[in-house]
Amino acid sequence: MRGGRSLAEELESYLGEWSGRTGIVVETWALPTVDVPSRIARGVLVVIREALDNVERHSGTTTVSIAVTVGKSGLKLTVSDHGNGFSLNQAARGIARMRASMAELGGSLSVTSVQGEGTTVSGIVPRR
């Protein structure tokens, strides 16, 4: 991470900048309390940035919720909004980029969306 910052510090900084720029409120449910290997932290940041880019461009929401936790089973991340939602048949390059980023880490990504109700992006990187 830049300047030796932890994943939690990097996320707090990015989320603050993003919220200030977009006017979308970020509810932070959880951030990691332990060190995360830099390779995994970079991949998580790629996914969160892409997910938030999609929220900004497509959701029409005023609030997004974020959780990143690390436990015995590994790292879990969730980005959830109550915006417009979309048909998963219309999924574009952004979701493919997020899935590829998680796959490079040995993890997986799922996206659920209901038109008119919102979208949730969930990723898991299992502990090795």
Give pTM, 2 decimals: 0.89
Q: Which domains does the chain have, with CATH numbers?
A: 2-126 (3.30.565.10)
For every residue of the chain, which 3-state class applies, written as one string?
A: CHHHCCHHHHHHHHHHHHHHHHCCEEEEEECCCCCCCHHHHHHHHHHHHHHHHHHHHHHCCCEEEEEEEEECCEEEEEEEECCCCCCHHHCCHHHHHHHHHHHHCCCEEEEEEECCCEEEEEEEEECC
Per-residue pLDDT of the chain in tens (128 residues, 90 and over written 9): 556 789 999 999 999 999 999 999 999 999 988 889 989 999 999 999 999 998 898 888 899 999 999 999 899 999 999 888 777 666 677 788 888 999 999 999 999 888 888 899 999 999 87
Note the pLDDT of residue 1.
Answer: 52
